Structures are given as C-alpha cells and as structure tokens.
Amino acid sequence: MFSLKNKTAIITGGGSGIGSAICTLFAEQGAKIYLLDIDETGSSGTIEKIRIKGGAGEFIQCAVDNETEVENVIRSIVATQPPDILVNNAGISHVGNVENTTAADFEKLISVNVKGVFHLLKACIPHMKAQGGVILNMSSIAALVGLSDRFAYSMTKGAVSAMTLSVAKDYVRYKIRCNSISPARVHTPFVDRFIAKNYPGMEAEMFSKLSVGQPVGRMAQPEEVAALALYLCSEEASFITGMDYPIDGGFINLNS
C-alpha cells in the first residue's frame, strides 16, 4: 500500500522539518524527488539521506516567490518527466498582531506563502492535465481558528486553503486531485530557533509549555505529517479531493 513507484514528485521547502520528512518518506515509497528550496545545506542533507537509503532525489535551488525562477525550474524538470505529485510545503512564519506587523513583513509573507504556492500551481498544472496528478498544499490550523499573534501568517494560510478548494474544483475533470493539510505545532528546527531567540535560558520550560498546548500533550513530529501526506498523495486516496486535513493533537475540537 501507499506505493509511489515510478512517480515524480516536486516538493518545495524540503531542506528541513516537515518538507524534509515528506521528501524522505516519498522517496522510500519509490518516488523520484525534485526538492526545491533556497537552503542548499539542509536540502543537500535531505538528498543525501534519500540516496543512502537507495532512493532517487535531486536538489534544485529555487526561490518559490520568484515566478521566473519557478517557471525555469519546472520547465527543466518536465523536459525529462511531467510531475505526478506537487507538494507546496515551502513557507515562512511570523509572530505579530495587526498593530505590530509591518508592511514589509506582510508583503514578504504574501510573497512566499501565497505567491509561492500560486507560482508552483501555475507552472505545474498544465503539465498534469494530460495524465492527471495530485497536489498537496501545506496550510495550518491558523487558517481554521484564531491564534494569538499570528495575524499575517494566518491570513496567508487562509489563502492557501482557498486556493486548494479552487484548484480542486477547476481541475477535477482533468483527474487532478488537490487537498491540504493543516498541522498544529510541529517540532521542527523553526520551533527550537523561536524558543532560543525569544526565551533565552527558559528553553526547556517554554518547550514544555508549547507542547501541552495540544490536548495530546506534545508537539507533532514531522514524520507524522509526512505519513498523512503520503496517504493523500497515494492511489489509496484517489477518491479524495478538495479537502483539508487538520493534524493537530486534538487542538481544534478538544481545546474548549
């Protein structure tokens, strides 16, 4: 089950965290991975892990917020093989409410988290229409519930959710499925950096506090999100499109 043998997968933001876990798992299941990221060091590490395990992967440096760069990269990939799977995982976070979010922060979040997804969708979908395909967008519970100090970030993830529904509706006749995943807090390098920067000397205390914010009492692991991504991109999920899947440790429904 959940085989991706002979599938070509384009995955953005695979240099660390959730994206790296998705790249590694998809390669283990037989997919040829094209990892798009600006992080050369992290991405090279992900590709090395894939190859050590006998998988096939290639890192291509690409800024998803640069439309021309994205178009050129996708053109080079499809010259060899049209993509079967696109995972829009690349994104940046931001802490702040509407008053202390600067215009520059707002524009940067739109550029990466919204335009980045748009650029990949626009570049890849024409090459999927002939044979069908699967698109998975990384949203967030921030698109579903109110989170303190996540004003601009929540806005971008709401846009991702809306794009997911629109693409699913417009391209279902081409046998292109489009879904999204909405994680709660996941233990990634970003979380560790955030705690170290904002709570020096209180790292263990803050990690514990952030962990118990989810009813299950811990953060998710990237591999758990990757497992859900694998299911949604596999043939076993062929009847699923236009859906969002929270993976939140009970955060949405049990935090009352």
Which tokens is 104 given? Answer: 């520059």
Q: Are 112 and 66 in contact (CB under 8 A)?
A: no
Using CB atoms within 10 A of its CB, is residue 227 exposed (0-12), middle (13-18) or buried (19+)?
middle
In the residue annotation, 153 being an active-site residue is answered as yes
Contact 220, 250 (CB under 8 A): no
Residue 220 half-sphere exposure toward CB, CA atoms < 13 A: 23
Q: Are strands 8-12 and 32-37 parallel, antiparallel or unpaired?
A: parallel
Residue from 189, 182, 188, 161 nearest 229 by CA:
182
Residue 169 CB neighbour total at 10 angstroms: 12
What six digits make up the tokens of 227?
């497992």
User: Which of the residues 153, 174, 199, 245 is marked catalytic?
Assistant: 153
The catalytic site residues sit at: 153
